[in-house]
Amino acid sequence: MQLKNDLLIRAAKGEKVERTPVWLMRQAGRILPEYRKVRASVSGFKELVKTPELAAEVTIQPVDLLGVDAAIIFSDILVIPEAMGLDYEMVEKTGPVFPKTINNASDLDQLRVADAARDLAYVTDAIQLVKKELNGRVPLIGFAGAPWTLFCYMIEGSGSKTFSKARKVLYTDPQMAHKLLDMITQSTITYLKCQIDAGADIVQLFDSWGGILGDNQYNEFSMKYIETICNAITEVPITVFAKGAYLAREKMSSLACETIGLDWNMDIAESRKIIGDQKTLQGNLDPCALYGSYDEIAIQTKSMLNQFGSHRHIANLGHGVYPDTNPDHVRCFIDTVKNFQFNS
């Protein structure tokens, strides 16, 4: 189906666009009362993720209510560990918790490479519903967690400031680490291809915990597997967002991906110099800027846009939108991007 608004896809490919496209990480839910109403109708977050009709509804809400230039499928990065045989729970005000974790090489025998077509059909069903409902209005973004980030949760069992248990394995049993990372990678490739077959127009890899690794370890235990995924996904553009992975930016310039996401701590001019002109950059307004006044949001957004320039940029935040952000402030950010004229 021909997209009526293909700004995001053209920007990712480095083609000329009439204006900078804009969307927000974690736009599907969190800030919208309409999302909270749907969320209250089910027993928990996972039920919402696994009910295609409801997941489709909250995916489309930001397109209708905020005016973003893309939808992103409502799901969670931890559906892959679950499809591999490691269940998780989403605990209110705590986050994800794995009742069982991977502690040694023998635990890998309890896992499998995910059969995405079977085990994650609820995601692809939701994608198909979204595509039908959108009817080409905007592109649909599919996504997955990067292998290192999923590894962190599968070893640690929950969120952590240091992920020291996961990092310990890199020193004590690197062979096991690579085996698990490879299983996650193969699962992720299949999963992303299923999303694309179902209708995803572009996909994004989230390496949320890439920044906790040093340069050499990032190259060995994260970048290596991101590169494998990027090489395998040839059907649609792919975006790589690695929060805090400052030292990896130069290596990212050679990835077989179209777009590199920047977090809000990454200097725009420095990042462009490091990454080069052959990649689109995405980001990177500080999510806390949206707590400011409308005038302040406009000032910060225009400053960001002028720094990125008119070529190869997708406007976004430098991380996911925070759940207590006023939706009207989000609309101010989006409208400022849409109405922006360079050097204004």
Give catalytic residues, as residue numbers.
26, 30, 39, 76, 153
Residues with Cβ within 8 Å of 309's Cβ and at least 6 positions away in sequence, in order, are: 342
One-letter amino acid for residue 301 of the chain: T
Among residues 62, 48, 196, 25, which one has the least CA distance to residue 138?
62
Task: Report how far residue 76's alpha carbon sits from residue 144's, in angstroms, rounded to the nearest whole number.
Answer: 8
Exposure letters 172-208 (e unless 16+ CB within 10 A, then b): eeeebbeebbebbbbbbbbbbbbbbebbbbbbbbbbb
Among residues 3, 48, 42, 4, which one has the least CA distance to residue 28?
48
Structure tokens at 231: 């090489």
> From the centroid of its chain, how far is CA 206?
4
Angle value at C-alpha 13, between 71 and 329, nearest 5 degrees: 40
